[in-house]
Amino acid sequence: MPLKESAFLILSALAAGPTHGYGIMKDVEQQSGGAVRLRPGTLYAVLAELVDGGLIEIDSEEVVQSRLRRNYRLTAPGARQLATEADRRRAAADTAGRRLRTSGLLAGGGAA
pLDDT of residue 105: 83
- CA gap 70, 57 in Å, rounded: 10
pLDDT of residue 109: 53
Q: What is the pLDDT of residues 23-79, one digit of tens each?
A: 999 999 999 999 999 999 999 999 999 999 999 999 999 998 898 899 999 999 999
Statement: the pTM of the whole predicted model exceeds 0.95: no
Q: Beta 19-20 vs 67-74: how paired, if at all?
A: antiparallel
Q: What is the pLDDT of residues 63-103, one digit of tens each?
A: 988 988 999 999 999 999 999 999 999 999 999 999 998 99
Question: Would the pLDDT of 21 be above 60?
Answer: yes
Q: Helix (H, G, I), strand (E, B), or coil: what is residue 80?
A: helix
